[in-house]
Amino acid sequence: MSDAPVSANSGSPIPQDRFAAKLRGFGALGILAVLVIAAGQIVPPLSAGLVLVWTRLSRTPWREIGYARPKSWIGSLVIGAVFGVAFKFLMKAIVMPLLGANPINHAYHYLAGNWPELPAAVFTMIVVAGFGEETVFRGYMFERLGKLLGRSPAARTVIVLVTAALFGSIHYIGQGLAGAQQAIITGLVFGAVFAVTGRIWMLMCAHAAFDLTAVAIIYWNIESKVAHLIFR
């Protein structure tokens, strides 16, 4: 039974509401939308932009993808920034060394002392990672998988695991095993926070701060020093 609003004159669903309902569903149009958004990952943050278009056209409430107004914008920014920086140092100095990762991130080591490349890297970490990846991997994927699996604790656990695995897989291509490992752990942590709060703004700030801290560590060429702070 369709939940689309009906026309007062004809008693049939209004065309734009039928279209929106099909976009929200998992029929041919809904699956096509998923595939198009997934293909947008080729040119990040195109996928995130497509998610916003999908949300608008499908008439999905913005809060369903985490775009809910926070209690405090400043609080979300500060908490996210502090959490992101601290989390990055935790990963770099403790978690990744325990996993046997190379202290040097060779995929981004070209940024060491490379001032001309720094603005593009900062833009990428804020827009592509902070905004783009959180919108897609937390906001959109949680909404889609939540519609399929439900909202029970077990379902949310599965969603966190699946989205973290997918998040890790896209990082494996450019950053290898260590990059995938870090992304999976980050995806688990960020996913767990999103599963509990349902809000994405703090996570966007945290993600951007996490990656900007990584860029700063690489730019100042102190990766090895940070990686050996605890384990010599």
At residue 197, the pLDDT reads 95
User: Does 59 map to a domain?
Assistant: no
CB environment 23-43: b (16+ within 10 A), e (fewer): bbeeeeebeebeeebeebbee
CA triple 116-121-127, angle to 5 deg: 140
220 residue type, one letter: W
The answer to the question of residue 12 being in a domain is no
pLDDT for residue 12: 52
169 assigned to some structural domain: yes
Domain total of the chain: 1
Burial class (CB in 10 A: 0-12, 13-18, 19+), 210: buried
Nearest Cα neighbor of 89 from 216, 232, 219 is 216
Structural domain that includes position 85:
69-227
- On whether residue 198 sits in a domain, the answer given is yes
163-201 burial, b at 16+ Cβ within 10 Å, e below that, comes to bbebbbebbeeebeebbbbbbbbbbbbbbebbbeeebbb
Is residue 207 within 8 A of residue 82, CB to CB? The reply is: no
Low-confidence ranges of the chain (pLDDT < 50): 1-2, 4, 6-8
Specify the 3-state DSSP secondary structure of 59.
coil
pLDDT value of residue 8 = 47
217 in a structural domain: yes
Helices 201-219 and 73-90: crossing angle in degrees, nearest 10, is 40
Distance CA 25, CA 37 (A): 15
55 domain-assigned: no
